[in-house]
Amino acid sequence: EMGSLIAACLLSGVLQFIGMSFILRYAMPRTFYFTYVMWLVIFVAASRFAYRVFRTFVQKRNETARNVNVMVIGAGEAANSLIREMNTSKYIQKAVCCVIDDNPSKIGAYIHGVKVVGNRSYIVEAAAKYDIDEIIVALPSISKKEIREILDICQETKCDLKTLPGIYQLVNGEVSVSQLRKVDVTDLLGRDPVQTDLDSIMGYVKDKTVLVTGGGGTIGSELCRQIVTHRPKLLIIFDIYENNAYDIQQELRMKYPEFCEDHLLVLIGSVRNTARVEDVFEKYHPDIVYHAAAHKHVPLMEISPNEAIKNNVMGTWKVCEAALKHHAEKFVLISTDKAVNPTNIMGATKRICEMIVQSYDKKGDTSFVAVRFGNVLGSSGSVIPLFKKQIEAGGPVTVTDPRIIRYFMTIPEAVSLVLQAGVYAKGGEIFVLDMGEPVKILDMAKNLIRLSGYVPGEDIEIKFTGLRPGEKLYEEMLMEEEGLQDTPNKLIHIGKPIEMDEESFFEKLSELNLESKKEKADVRAWIKELVPTYEYTPGTGMYSDGKNE
327 and 210 in a common domain: yes
117 and 257 in a common domain: no
318 and 244 in a common domain: yes
pLDDT, residue 53, reads 67
Note whether residue 541 is domain-resident.
no
pLDDT, residue 171, reads 44
pLDDT, residue 476, reads 63
Residues 6+ apart with CB under 8 A from 41: 5, 6, 9
- Residue 408 has phi, psi (to 5 degrees) of -125, 150
pLDDT, residue 183, reads 52
Q: Model-level pTM?
A: 0.67
Note whether residue 191 is domain-resident.
no
- Exposure class string for 210-240: b at 16+ Cβ within 10 A, else e: bbbbbbbbbbbbbbbbbbbebebebbbbbbb
Residues 6+ apart with CB under 8 A from 475: 337, 338, 340, 374, 406, 407, 438
Q: DSSP label at 460?
A: B
280 and 163 in a common domain: no
> Structurally, how many domains does the chain consist of?
3
CATH of the domain at 126: 3.40.50.720
297 and 424 in a common domain: yes
Q: Is 195 helix (H, G, I), strand (E, B) or coil?
A: coil
- Going by their DSSP bridges, the two strands 430-433 and 439-440 should be labelled as unpaired
502 and 421 in a common domain: yes
Q: DSSP string spanning 469-494? A: TT--SS--SS-GGG--EE-SSTTEEE
258 and 212 in a common domain: yes
345 and 205 in a common domain: yes
Q: DSSP label at 435?
A: -
211 and 103 in a common domain: no
Q: Which amino acid is at 433?
A: L
Note whether residue 401 is domain-resident.
no
Q: Which domain holds residue 126?
A: 66-183
pLDDT, residue 431, reads 86
R_g over Cα of the chain: 31
238 and 285 in a common domain: yes
Note whether residue 234 is domain-resident.
yes
Q: Any bridge partners for residue 486, and if so which?
A: 493
Note whether residue 125 is domain-resident.
yes
**Mind telling me the catalytic residues?**
338
Q: DSSP string spanning 226-255? A: HHHTT--SEEEEEES-HHHHHHHHHHHHHH
Note whether residue 468 is domain-resident.
no
What are the pLDDT tens digits along the chain (549 aa)? 677 778 888 888 788 777 777 777 777 777 777 888 888 888 887 877 776 666 666 555 555 555 789 999 999 888 888 888 887 776 677 889 999 999 999 999 999 889 999 999 999 999 999 999 899 988 877 776 788 788 888 888 878 888 776 444 444 444 444 444 455 656 556 566 666 666 766 778 888 999 999 999 989 999 999 899 888 999 999 999 999 999 999 999 999 998 999 999 999 999 999 999 999 999 999 999 999 999 988 889 998 999 999 999 999 999 999 999 999 999 999 998 888 888 899 999 999 999 999 999 989 899 999 998 777 776 666 677 788 888 888 889 999 899 888 877 778 777 877 887 778 888 888 888 776 677 888 888 887 787 776 778 888 899 999 887 767 777 665 555 456 777 777 777 887 677 788 889 999 999 999 989 988 778 888 999 999 888 876 655 455 444 443
Q: DSSP label at 337?
A: G
- Going by their DSSP bridges, the two strands 492-495 and 485-486 should be labelled as antiparallel
Angle between helices 218-228 and 411-424 (to 10 degrees): 60
State the Cα–Cα distance between residues 441 and 451, nearest whole angstrom.
15
State the Cα–Cα distance between residues 27 and 17, nearest whole angstrom.
10
pLDDT, residue 278, reads 96
Note whether residue 99 is domain-resident.
yes
Domain limit, last residue, from 15, 47, 62: 62
Domain limit, last residue, from 183, 212, 238: 183
pLDDT, residue 55, reads 62
Q: DSSP label at 190?
A: S
Largest interatomic CA distance in the chain: 115
